[in-house]
Amino acid sequence: MATHVITGAGSGIGAAVARRLHARGDELVLHARDAGRAKELVAEFPGARTLVGDLADPGKLSWAFSHQSLPDRVDSLLHIAGVVDLGPVGDLTPKTWRHQLDVNLIAPAELTRHLLPQLRASRGHVIFVNSGAGLSAHADWSAYAASKHGLKALADSLREEEHAAGVRVTSVYPGRTASPMQAKVHRQEGKDYDPSRWIDPESVATTIVTALDLPRDAEINDVTVRPGR
Ligand X SMILES: NC(=O)c1ccc[n+]([C@@H]2O[C@H](COP(=O)([O-])OP(=O)(O)OC[C@H]3O[C@@H](n4cnc5c(N)ncnc54)[C@H](OP(=O)(O)O)[C@@H]3O)[C@@H](O)[C@H]2O)c1
68 close to 89: Cβ distance less than 8 angstroms: no
Residue 205 as a binder of ligand X (CB under 6 A): the answer is no
List 45, 128, 141, 144, catalytic entry: 144
Distance CA 51, CA 102 (A): 18
**Which one, 8 or 124, has the nearer CB to ligand X?**
8
Please compute, for residue 79, the number of CA atoms within 13 A of its CA located in the half-sphere on the CB side: 32
Instruction: Tell me the closest approach of the beta carbon of residue 55 to ligand X, in angstroms.
Output: 3
**Contacts (CB under 6 A) with ligand X, residues 147-176:** 174, 176
Under the binding rule (CB under 6 A), the answer on residue 59 touching ligand X is no
User: Distance between the two ends of the chain, CA-based, in angstroms?
Assistant: 37
Binding residue count for ligand X, defined by CB under 6 A: 25
**Is residue 144 flagged as an active site residue?**
yes
State residue 100 phi and psi, 5-degree precision. Answer: -70, -40
Give 182 or 207: the residue with its C-beta nearer to ligand X: 182
With contacts defined by CB under 6 A, name the span among 50-58, 111-119, 154-162, 213-221 that binds ligand X. 50-58
Radius of gyration, alpha carbons of the chain: 17
Give the residue with the Cβ less far from ligand X, 9 or 167.
9
Identify which range of 5-13, 21-29, 70-78, 90-98 contacts ligand X by CB under 6 A: 5-13
With binding defined as CB under 6 A, does residue 177 bind ligand X? yes
Cβ neighbours of residue 43 under 8 Å, at least 6 residues apart?
none
Side chain identity, residue 39 = K
Q: Which is nearer to ligand X, 75 or 102 (CB)?
A: 102
Number of H helices, E strands in the chain: 8, 7
Note whether 58 binds ligand X by CB under 6 A: no
Choose between 90 and 94: whose C-beta lies nearer to ligand X.
Answer: 94
19, 20, 37, 120: residue in contact with ligand X (rule CB under 6 A) = 37
Q: How far is the CB of 155 from ligand X (least distance, A)?
A: 13
| 180 is a site residue for ligand X (CB under 6 A) | yes
Residues 6+ apart with CB under 8 A from 175: 132, 198, 199, 224, 225, 226, 227
Torsion from C-alpha of 73, 147, 173, 70, nearest 10 degrees: 10
Q: Report which of 4, 14, 3 is spatially closest to residue 129, judged by C-alpha positions.
A: 14
Catalytic residue numbers read: 144
Binding site residues, ligand X, CB under 6 A = 8, 10-14, 33, 37, 54-56, 80-83, 103, 129, 131, 174, 176-177, 179-182
